[in-house]
Amino acid sequence: MTERTVQKVTLAKGLNLGLRKAMEADDKVLLMGEDVGKLGGVFRITDGLQKDFGEDRVIDSPLAESGIVGTAVGLAMRGYRPVVEIQFDGFVYPAYDQIVCQVAKIHFRSQGRVKMPMVIRIPFGGGIGAVEHHSESPEAQFAHTPGLKVVACSNPVDGYWMIQQAIAHDDPVIFLEPKRQYHADKADLDEAATPGPLFASRVVRQGSDATVLAYGPTVKTCLRAAEAAAGEGRSLEVIDLRTLSPLDMAPVLDSVRRTGRAVVVHEAHANLGMGAELAARITEECFYSLEAPVLRVGGFDTPYPASRLEEEWLPDIDRVLDAVDRSLGF
Amino acid sequence: MSDPAATQPGGSAGFGPDLAEVFGPARLQPSDEDGGPDLVQLLTPEGERVRHPAFDIEFSEAELRGFYRDMVLVRRLDIEATALQRHGELGIWAQLLGQEAAQIGAGRALRPHDFVFPTYREHGVAWCRGLDPLKLLGLFRGVDHGNWDPAEYGFGLYTIVIGAQTLHATGYAMGMQRDGVVGTGDPDRDAAVLAHFGDGASSQGDVNESFIFAASYNAPVVFFCQNNQWAISEPIERQSRIPLYQRALGFGFPGVRVDGNDVLATYAVTRAALQRARDGQGPTFVEAYTYRMGAHTTTDDPTRYRLSADVEHWKLKDPIARLEVYLKRNGLAEEAFFSDLAAEADELGHTLREGCKAMPDPQPLDIFDRVYADTPEELAAQRDGFAAYLASFEGAH
């Protein structure tokens, strides 16, 4: 008799189940952060885990981000695998020094003698009507830092698998979770399935007229845009990048060589964002296949606005389609 | 316009005669010449053995000679490294001159299972952990960022960012708690962490956060602050208005000020604090009150910001001289001990000079393979591209 393993889960639940699985698999895995214990985190991603794994493994920390990441460094040196929750994207900056100067560099500094198997979970992106500092997209700052790996999940099934893979990985991983999606959609999760590799991009919709590159919260936006474009007879290929550092360029280049056009969509400011790096690499690698310059759709180069304006500020279906139109117009 | 005070609850009647009296004094001094009344001392600058009600212990003659030998050799290491920098063999050197007692006292209080998180000046503690002193020079020569295995020596890599390592120390101590090596009562099992930092670092957020975390989790860590009075050019008064050891109370654990130029007292206090941590009684702050006799590093010029009279004053408190006086006056060491030690120091100097110059330069391609445990393909490709680029010069002039 086959045990039924498929269940419908949200991203929040997928992550929660993935964390539980990782903690069951390895008793060196610890969760740390503000309010991750009894409360289960402000987004409930760690719901019920302290009850089942105890206060020594699900650690409610003092309210100090540098302290959380810095003590996690020491725990990792002692052989633990800390999974740190930064409560909101905009609160990661007090820990920036520890992340960039210590977490990212200790393996290098020690010539590989000291590993830093740490996951830093950051709920990122906007669209939840929050106050300042709760809706940001700092991924480029970490992708710019050698020594870190940066991934972003976009859906419940990836959330479940990617968090486990990140925890099992021996390098530090900045794990970005699109907070707007936490409790939005449900997907079928088959825990008996075999996941693909962590550091791999994935074509999530096939198409032939233009390639749209997205990650995290903009994957859903771009899939919707592709759906709308299809209604107008335009065939968009959508790639969920999933990994931002390292980049997995092979599927991207393969796609752009076929379509001749690329549009990168992220919530982060376009200036010096992931789109700039992707545009440079695409141009370097398939210059003669391009029919149009690589275009970027991103947040404007302003601080994130008050939430009444966030729908105007964030890339939406129309701005994606507008960029596709411009690309096709060349 | 109405008087804003008049509309406040309590009216405009004022606060009484003297708010300074209500709140108490605003400023205290962080230091005084002698270290103040709470300074723990077992050996005076004049070499007099004095008693302390809490921290006194008896030392054997061999132990006393051992401390002396350590300090003499570590001073020689420091002098040689400084000279190597002057000869262009090191890019920079962070001198420990004057802090030998603080470091040897702390270092000898450690047990094998303990773990140390150093700054970049802990050459004396490294010595006590059995680290080949040549390994300390690599970082300052620019051939590596620290070429020893922290796990092998129980001694972390030098950390350049001020105070960052105190959080690592606290986290490591939290790991010890989870490993069940704290408070078991088994001396072969129980362990603690020694976290080094200086008076300048005491202003850093990370140091203060490490105090909070350590207190909150009752972590087995000893915060060992060498207050050498100077953070490059800034005096302790710029960092603190109260004696540093008194800060500990505000975080909820004890603080002790020890004469950091007295190796016996530093050893006794650190040993007790480490045992307290191993026993599961939580963190302790030890302020080793000392003085940076040299420059911050070999690039610094202290004549621009401090008085030579102050340096002369601290010379009278020299950590090695006072123990030498004590050993000689009490007949605890033969003349041969001193002459043998001088020869040993010369040999160490020779080894350091020759070893430093013989240190091989690192290979450019190695840097690519050390960034990650699992090197991404794109970085491997960058390495291969650079290798091909380098190879393209072979045979060219």
Residue A166: inside a domain: yes
| Mutation for testing the B interface, residue in A28, A30, A77, A169 having most B CBs under 10 Å | A77
Q: What is the CATH number of the domain that holds A136?
A: 3.40.50.970
Residues A232 and A159 in one domain: no
Residues A218 and A157 in one domain: no
Q: Is the pLDDT of residue B15 over 90?
A: no
Tokens of B112: 């094998």
3 state DSSP class of A213: strand
Find the chain A residues whose C-beta atoms sit closer than 8 A to any C-beta of B: 30, 56, 61-62, 64, 66-67, 69-80, 94, 97-98, 101-102, 106-115, 117, 146-147, 149, 169-171, 199, 246-247, 249
Model pLDDT, residue A109: 98
Count of CB atoms within 10 A of residue B4's CB? 8
Residues A208 and A259 in one domain: yes
How does residue B5 score in pLDDT terms, banded at 50, 70 and 90? Answer: low
Amino acid letter for position A312: E
Name chain B contacts of A108, Cβ cutoff 8 Å. Answer: 145, 367, 370-371
Maximum CA pair distance of chain A? 59
Count of CB atoms within 10 A of residue A56's CB? 12
**Cis status of the peptide bond prior to A123, with omega within 30 of 0:** no
CB neighbour list of residue B8: distance below 8 Å, 6 or more residues apart:
none
CB neighbour list of residue A259: distance below 8 Å, 6 or more residues apart:
A207, A208, A209, A210, A211, A237
Q: What is the mean pLDDT of residues A214-218?
A: 98
Give the model confidence (pLDDT) of B326-378 as tens digits.
999 999 999 999 999 999 999 999 999 999 999 999 999 999 999 999 999 99
Number of helices and strands in chain A (H, E): 12, 14
Phi, psi of A153 (to 5 degrees): -90, 155
User: For residues B317-333, b (16+ Cβ closer than 10 Å) or e, as one string?
Assistant: bbbbebbbbbbeeeebb
Residue B339, CA atoms < 13 Å, CB-side half-sphere: 3
Name chain B contacts of A106, Cβ cutoff 8 Å. Answer: 157
Where is the domain boundary, A148, A168, A190? Answer: A190
Residues A299 and A233 in one domain: yes
Residues A84 and A160 in one domain: yes
Residues A138 and A211 in one domain: no
Give residue limits of the domains in chain B: 61-358, 363-392
B151 and A113 within 8 Å at the Cβ level: the answer is yes
Among A223, A270, A277, A276, which residue's Cα sits nearest to residue A247? A277
Q: Is the pLDDT of residue A21 over 80?
A: yes
Tokens of B57: 């212990």
Q: How far is CA B235 from the centre of its chain?
A: 17
Residues A56 and A180 in one domain: yes
Among B253, B242, B202, B209, which residue's Cα sits nearest to residue B226? B202
Tokens of B119: 């700054």
Residue A108: inside a domain: yes
For chain A, first and last CA: distance in Å? 58
Q: What is the mean pLDDT of residues B31-46?
A: 89
Instruction: Let me know if B305 is a catalytic residue.
Output: yes
Name chain B contacts of A115, Cβ cutoff 8 Å. Answer: 373
Instruction: Let me know if B69 is a catalytic residue.
Output: no
Amino acid letter for position B392: S
Give the model confidence (pLDDT) of A279-310 as tens digits.
999 999 999 999 999 999 999 999 999 999 99
Where is the domain boundary, A170, A190, A210? Answer: A190
User: What is the rounded average pLDDT for all residues in chain B?
Assistant: 94
SS3 content of chain B, % helix, strand, coil (to 5): 45, 10, 45
CA B197/CA B223 separation, integer angstroms: 8
Question: Do residues B67 and B104 lie in contact, with contact meaning Cβ atoms separated by under 8 Å?
Answer: yes
What pairing do the DSSP bridges indicate for beta strands A236-240 and A202-205? antiparallel
For A105-127, give the DSSP string. Answer: THHHHTTTSS----EEEEEE---
Amino acid letter for position B27: R
CA-to-CA dists, residue A76 to A101, A117, A176, A312, B175, angstroms:
15, 7, 20, 42, 8
How does residue B19 score in pLDDT terms, banded at 50, 70 and 90? Answer: confident
DSSP letter (8 states) at residue A98: I
Residue A230: inside a domain: yes
The one catalytic residue among A134, A144, A183, A269? A134
Among A206, A168, A211, which residue's Cα sits nearest to residue A21? A168
* Alpha carbon of A208: minimum distance to chain B alpha carbons (Å): 27
User: What is the rounded average pLDDT for all residues in chain A?
Assistant: 97
Which residues pair with residue A236 across a beta bridge?
Answer: A210
Residues A217 and A164 in one domain: no
The closest CB to that of B216, out of A62, A246, A249, belongs to A62
Place of tokens 């000079």: B353
The closest CB to that of A74, out of B144, B149, B169, belongs to B169
Residues A212 and A163 in one domain: no
Count of CB atoms within 10 A of residue B334's CB? 11
Q: Is the pLDDT of residue B214 over 90?
A: yes
Q: Is the pLDDT of residue B253 over 90?
A: yes
Give the model confidence (pLDDT) of A37-72 as tens digits.
999 999 999 999 999 999 999 999 999 999 999 999
Residues A113 and A207 in one domain: no
The number of folded domains in chain A is 2
Among B290, B230, B291, B251, which residue's Cα sits nearest to residue B39? B290
How does residue B69 score in pLDDT terms, banded at 50, 70 and 90? Answer: very high
Q: Is the pLDDT of residue B243 over 90?
A: yes
Q: Is the pLDDT of residue B138 over 70?
A: yes
Tokens of B321: 């001289």
| Chain B residues 158-197 with CB within 8 Å of chain A | 159, 161, 164, 166-179
* Alpha carbon of B57: minimum distance to chain A alpha carbons (Å): 33
CATH topology of domain B61-358: Rossmann fold (3.40.50)
Number of helices and strands in chain B (H, E): 16, 7
Model pLDDT, residue B353: 98
3 state DSSP class of B332: coil
**Positive or negative, the Cα torsion across B33, B34, B35, B36?**
negative
Give the model confidence (pLDDT) of A247-262 as tens digits.
999 999 999 999 999 9
Residue A35: inside a domain: yes
Q: Is the pLDDT of residue A97 over 60?
A: yes
Q: Is the pLDDT of residue B262 over 70?
A: yes
CA B268/CA B360 separation, integer angstroms: 41
Residues A216 and A151 in one domain: no
Q: Is the pLDDT of residue B7 over 80?
A: no
Residue A197: inside a domain: no
3 state DSSP class of A153: coil
Model pLDDT, residue B9: 81
Q: Is B365 an interface residue toward A (CB < 8 Å)?
A: no
Where is the domain boundary, A190, A219, A237? Answer: A190
Residues A42 and A170 in one domain: yes
CA B105/CA B116 separation, integer angstroms: 14
Model pLDDT, residue B33: 66
Name chain A contacts of B146, Cβ cutoff 8 Å. Answer: 109-110
How does residue A114 score in pLDDT terms, banded at 50, 70 and 90? Answer: very high
Model pLDDT, residue B3: 66
Q: Is the pLDDT of residue B6 over 90?
A: no
| Domain extent at residue A284 | 202-329
The closest CB to that of A169, out of B147, B171, B374, belongs to B374
Per the model's pLDDT, the better-predicted residue between A61 and B394 turns out to be A61
CA A71/CA B274 separation, integer angstroms: 19
Determine the residue of chain A that is closest to B117 in CA distance: A74
A74 and B149 within 8 Å at the Cβ level: the answer is no
Phi, psi of A210 (to 5 degrees): -160, 155
| Mutation for testing the A interface, residue in B139, B159, B161, B168 having most A CBs under 10 Å | B168
Residue A1: inside a domain: no
Among A72, A61, A13, which residue's Cα sits nearest to residue A37? A61
Model pLDDT, residue B397: 55
A149 and B171 within 8 Å at the Cβ level: the answer is no
